Structure 1
């Protein structure tokens, strides 16, 4: 089960568990779902749509059966200066390959170390995407659509890094 032990949630709920459900819905993929931790009418509509498409009771409530049917809703790691490892290498690859779209700023190498050049490349990507420019790759930046067959930065880097 990709989302073990999650509580039942519904419209009006807020917090991290709602973010988990919203990330899972985005991964179905439903790129219209905003990961903001607020279970509002749009999240409910996305839940109902998912439930209908998967033969579940379409009540807009995320209970055990819906959680079991959803993909893993765990977060991607937050990446920033000082981060390192395979996920940083994958991020650097995506940033390098797409740099021409977002201003030509590359991480200047794929070494798995999130340093100042990777931060500058992330900032260029964030400006292009019209999200907060802080050089930190969190939920908002992971969720940016790449305009490539429903792909996001998260899916391009690889969901295998979900924590």
Structure 2
């Protein structure tokens, strides 16, 4: 069995950096979609870790060590998409933006061509405004984490977690 988060260091409240972002993404993909991926292991992250540990049958100490890392879903980053990005992930992004816009943020990318241009950027900006997150037209961690209430998940899940970057052993 391949571990979803190989080679990660033990982290806890006060830790910062990429390992914390990886844990936050993994927790968000579990049952904590409200968790913001900011790379700072604060009180909110600690509480999410404890809840996850309880559900996983681990001692709820709020520390992400080897057993917690092994139990967490993959915390790999989704790609950052912006003006000029292309490919299958952009096509999936455009499909989700098109499907979800009518009942939420109204502005679609006006086509699914796999090219992130000005119309896709306008749709992403409308999504960001609707979600009350910083509006920059770039699909990064904050945008991937937008919860689509009533739709059963966070934005990255709808586009497809198969686009997450492959795990890298450290």
Give TM-score, length-normalised by structure 1.
Answer: 0.95
Matched with 2:163 is 161
CA distance, structure 2, for counterparts of residue 145 and residue 6 of structure 1 = 27
How far did residue 146 of structure 1 move?
0.7
How far did residue 98 of structure 1 move?
1.4
Say which of 5, 14, 17 aligns to 1:15.
17
Segments of structure 1 that go 5 or more residues without pairing to the other structure are none
Higher RCO structure, 1 or 2 (CA under 8 Å, sep 6+): 2
The count of aligned residue pairs is 163
Pairwise CA RMSD:
1.1
The answer (yes or no) to whether the contact 1:106–1:118 under 8 Å persists in 2 is: yes
Matched with 1:53 is 55
Give TM-score, length-normalised by structure 2.
Answer: 0.92
How far did residue 30 of structure 1 move?
1.1
Say which of 138, 146, 149 aligns to 1:147.
149
Segments of structure 2 that go 5 or more residues without pairing to the other structure are 166-170
Cα deviation digits, residues 127-156 of structure 1 (max 9, x gap): 111111111000001111111254111111
Matched with 2:168 is none
Matched with 1:134 is 136
CA distance, structure 2, for counterparts of residue 143 and residue 103 of structure 1 = 16
